[in-house]
Amino acid sequence: MSEEKDNVIFIGRKDTMNYVMACITLFQGDATEVILKARGRSISRAVDVSEILKNRFMKDQIAIDKIDISTETIESRDRGNFSVSAIEITIKKK
């Protein structure tokens, strides 16, 4: 279980290629599965990361195993609690 946790990459506002490189590094290590998590506007970046991996850098080596979407509640002192959409993309080594 702790191994799985290490294979989660949270997609934020950095350049897309940062996350692509992070995935490649994990797969070149022990990881057989990497989970991309993103919220709000970063969702499209998470999709970009998995597509770039699949079509360019790890072609024929990985597959998208599962895509889940959900709603998360963010607790914020300034704005009160609010909801935001989230995505979880599970990528597996072939």
Where does this chain bind a second copy (CB under 8 A)?
40-44, 47-48, 50-51, 55, 64, 67-71, 85-87, 89
Nearer to a second copy, 33 or 51 (CB): 51
- Within 8 A by CB and 6+ apart from 61, the residues are 27, 93, 94
Nearest to 69 by CA among 37, 34, 35: 37
- H helical segments located in the chain: 2-6, 16-28, 43-52
Tell me how far, at minimum, the Cβ of 51 lies from a second copy, in Å. 5
Tell me how far, at minimum, the Cβ of 37 lies from a second copy, in Å. 13
Pairing between β-strand 33-39 and β-strand 62-74 as defined by DSSP bridges: unpaired
Nearer to a second copy, 22 or 64 (CB): 64
Nearer to a second copy, 28 or 55 (CB): 55
